[in-house]
Amino acid sequence: MIPRYSPPDMAALFDDEARLAMWLEVELLAVEGLAGLGVVPAADAAALRARAPAVDSALVRAVNERERVTDHDVAAFVDIVQDRIGGPEASWIHFGLTSSDVVDTALCATLTRAADLLLAASGELVAALAARASELIAVPVAGRTHGMHAEPTTFGAKFALWALQADRDRQRLAAARERVAVGKLSGAVGTFSNIDPAVEAHVCAALGLRPVPATQVIARDRHAEYLYACASIGATIELIGTEIRHLARSEVGEVEEPFAPGQKGSSAMPHKRNPILSERLSGLARVLRGYLGAGFEDIALWHERDISHSSVERIVLPDASLLTVYMLRKATGLVSGLIIHPERALLNLTEGSYGLVFSQSVLLALVGSGITRDEAYRIVQRDARAAWSERRALRGLLEEDPEVTLSPAELDAAFDLGRSLRHSARFLEALSDLDVAHPDR
């Protein structure tokens, strides 16, 4: 992933030094597990741990140079580690293991750590959305369907629904973390032919993983589920960004992205304040969905193992993790700093719609007065069309219409914004079960 979208704490989990350090830890833990069984002398296991090389840029370069000869990254790694440790004890490194024992277990350990960062960031987004929902629950705005004015709603209702969806994403991510928090050290086709299951249990326990049955590789539906959780988060953020982009349009003007001192919206037009962050997040969500497709393609491997998934995962798993945490943190800042223009929203809702947002209320009032629904619908539809084409208030047209027999009090009730929004607090009630006090859960 390019540095622009690479938060350092997540990037540090996936760089070459971190990857080889995790491989080395798996190898050393495996030897210590063997020592616990009496297969390896305890003194040899202790010597390996004491003389284990530091995994730094020099070791990474040495492994890369060796790989030019072996054309096998794990074999190159084992060669270099054994050479750096030296002595007869070094021969115990990779004893009874196959490459995937090391790579898959290390990868899953890394993904669980990545998921922890994502869960913390996801919780922060949920908390930010819930806070804005509470703040804005009584601020009216036009609800829109098909991009057209529908009925009144509130900004708080929008944020509450986003918070609930983001929390479902958090739950999916927690489930995906559990699914990838697994390991295997069961040998070439998973039958433990040259390694005792107790070694697998020892290594997994030390890394916070759970041993699972496997072929030579851990089943890739687990990794696909992790990618799905990331893509789902991206889709929710895209949903939020798309709404912000619409509401920020010049013709609408109901919200505005935060704009920092010194920021420039356009290199050519000084007046511009573009919703660039919402647009950026919408674009990155497309990338995440592409990674999900690749992850599903990785599920079907030949027999007990092939490596068609390997090259894919070197790209999509780190990049998806980086993009997702980047998007979560940016979305949290966007939500927290989003500028709301309630007066413009109210103007659009009332005068801007000529009162058409109350058409259903009028329809129901007419039905309640004894007119058939079809007749009432025809009356309101006709007057609503006239209001829009003549740019006149629907209320006035209804008062002039001899077929409308509603009293002034009944029309007042039909056009009462407070009545339309009287149940808005129910959105906040739905948020009461969210664990926003502990956003990483």
Residue 410 and residue 284 share a domain? no
**Does residue 255 lie in a domain region?**
yes
For 118-142, b/e burial (b = at least 16 CB within 10 A) is bbbbbbbbbbbbbbbbeebbebbbb
* Identity at 387, one-letter amino acid code: A
Residue 379 and residue 244 share a domain? no
Question: Per residue in 284-338, pLDDT tens?
Answer: 999 999 999 999 999 999 999 899 899 999 999 999 999 999 999 999 999 999 9
d(CA 170, CA 157): 20
Beta bridge partners of 270: none
| Helix 73-85 and helix 99-136, axial crossing angle in degrees, nearest 10 | 110
pLDDT at 33 over 60: yes
Which residue of the set 266, 308, 369, 407 is catalytic? 266
266 is an active site residue:
yes
Q: What is the CATH number of the domain that holds 144?
A: 1.20.200.10
State the DSSP string of 297-346: HTS--STT--SHHHHHHHHHHHHHHHHHHHHHHHHHHHHHHPEE-HHHHH
**Does residue 202 lie in a domain region?**
no
Residue 162 and residue 116 share a domain? yes
pLDDT at 435 over 80: no
* Confidence (pTM): 0.94
Q: What is the CATH number of the domain that holds 395?
A: 1.10.40.30
Task: Determine the average pLDDT of the residues in 269-291.
Answer: 93
- Range scoring the smallest mean pLDDT among 108-122, 219-233, 250-264, 331-345: 250-264
pLDDT at 30 over 70: yes
Question: Per residue in 377-401, pLDDT tens?
Answer: 999 999 999 999 999 999 999 999 9
Residue 388 and residue 328 share a domain? no
**Does residue 201 lie in a domain region?**
no
Predicted confidence at residue 441, as pLDDT, reads: 46
**pLDDT tier for residue 28 given thresholds of 50, 70 and 90:** very high
Residue 361 and residue 320 share a domain? no
The boundaries of the domain holding residue 115 are 99-195+207-259+268-350+423-441
Q: What is the CATH number of the domain that holds 14?
A: 1.10.275.10
Which residue of the set 146, 271, 303, 438 is catalytic? 146
**pLDDT tier for residue 263 given thresholds of 50, 70 and 90:** confident
Predicted confidence at residue 45, as pLDDT, reads: 98
Residue 123 and residue 14 share a domain? no
146 is an active site residue:
yes
Q: How many CB atoms lie within 10 A of CB 389?
A: 8
